[in-house]
Amino acid sequence: MEKEKLKIYHVLTDRNIGGAGRWLLNYLKYCNRETYDVRVVLPADSQLCPVVESLDIPVIKMDAMADSSYDKKALAPLTELFRKDKPDVVHTHASLTARMAAKKAGVPRIFHTKHCMENVSGNTMKRLAKRMVNHRYSDRVIAVSKAVRKSMIAGGTDPKQIVTIYNGIEMLSPLTPEEKRAVLAEYGVPEGQKVVGIVARLEEVKDHDTFLRAAERICKERQDITFLIVGTGSQMERLKADVKMMGLTEKILFTGFVSAVERLEAALDVAVITSKEEALCLSLIESMSAGVPAVGTDSGGVSEVVRHGENGYLVAVGDDEDLARRILEILSDRSLYESMSKKAMAWTREMFTAELMAAKMEKLYAEARK
């Protein structure tokens, strides 16, 4: 007799397509639809709705669901939904309300993915409260990196609850010189320039200031390198003003929001991240999968992506001098560049594919059959 499909409900409160949304989309492309009946619960006005529907995955649109972890108004409708539909697993991404509703509705298994570093409190009572909440409302907590796992334990979560499953992506292919030229021309990069890029939200935690200082150092030595700042955020206008004050508006370019960012990530010569704190960094993984060496700050999960001296370099947070030195080292040695490029492609294909992530997730879902 054929086994009945396990019903898996993913719940996201995001209205934009951030890290959790990208995780979900990569999972949905490779989930086993013969074994699992996967559905997604989203705010009715989420940008994710049409994208998920385009993958032929049912979307349950909730009018009363705020973009926050706890939303009192959403508790009753989510509880009613889970009681009516009887999912075998509810898998949440930041939504404590959905976990509470799943528990109240008697859902057999509740999973939760932690997509960012835990905010570790020095308050013992807060750590105990975190431990209690996770024990009561989660059967398993998935950390997207070892660094996230470590921060969760420091924050009070029971280590026995945590499973580490790396984010997975669809691998990018290296671009031909002609393809790279065409992509970069769209953003005003002059022909013949090497391109160093940072793809990240323009927020304080990403520390674009260190990137700017490193770029300024490099521009004093070489004129054949252009720097791209890809993304948007609250720091945009201040950073643009800083670049203007440096007199580098022709060397440091802002792209703004880029919808098809993967082609731009693949067109870089060196990918950089300067975060003060980073769970894993999908943008580095995507660039590296296309054979782009990386230089990143040794913060959070970046060291799990960048293997120092093999597929790129790690530098200390805020160290613009070393960042500039490492970028120049990669761009000045062709044999080193080619070696790092090959190792970047091999490492990402070994560790960070969407197929591997989906397979590991579904091993956890299989626990619901036991």
Q: What is the tens place of the pLDDT at every residue in 304-336? A: 999 999 999 999 999 999 999 999 999 999 999
pLDDT above 90 for 292: yes
Mean pLDDT of 49-75: 85
Domains 6-168+353-369 and 177-351 share a fold: yes
Q: What is the tens place of the pLDDT at every residue in 187-225? A: 999 999 999 999 999 999 999 999 999 999 999 999 999
Lowest mean pLDDT segment, chosen from 152-161, 261-270, 274-283, 354-363: 152-161
Helix 72-85 with 96-105: angle, nearest 10 deg: 40
The Cα 316–Cα 274 span in angstroms is 9
The Cα 104–Cα 101 span in angstroms is 5
pLDDT above 90 for 136: no
- Domain 6-168+353-369 sits in which CATH superfamily? Glycogen Phosphorylase B; (3.40.50.2000)
Confidence band for 129, pLDDT divided at 50, 70 and 90: confident
In the predicted model, what is the mean pLDDT of the chain?
93
pLDDT at 73: 83
Q: What is the tens place of the pLDDT at every residue in 21-53? A: 889 999 999 999 999 999 999 999 998 999 999
pLDDT above 70 for 70: no
Q: Hey, what CATH topology would domain 177-351 get?
A: Rossmann fold (3.40.50)
Rounding to the nearest 10 degrees, give the CA dihedral for residues 251, 298, 119, 78: 70
Confidence band for 370, pLDDT divided at 50, 70 and 90: low
Q: Above pLDDT 70, what percent of the chain?
A: 97
pLDDT at 67: 62
* Annotated domain spans of the chain: 6-168+353-369, 177-351
Cβ 51 vs Cβ 17: under 8 Å: yes
Confidence band for 149, pLDDT divided at 50, 70 and 90: very high
5 sits in the region (left: phi over 0; alpha: psi -120 to 50; else beta) called beta
Q: What is the tens place of the pLDDT at every residue in 160-180? A: 999 999 999 999 999 999 999
Q: Single out the residue of 79, 141, 142, 139 nearest to residue 109, CA to CA.
A: 139
Q: Above pLDDT 90, what percent of the chain?
A: 80
pLDDT at 229: 98
Q: What is the tens place of the pLDDT at every residue in 226-280? A: 999 999 999 999 999 999 999 999 999 999 989 889 999 999 999 999 999 999 9
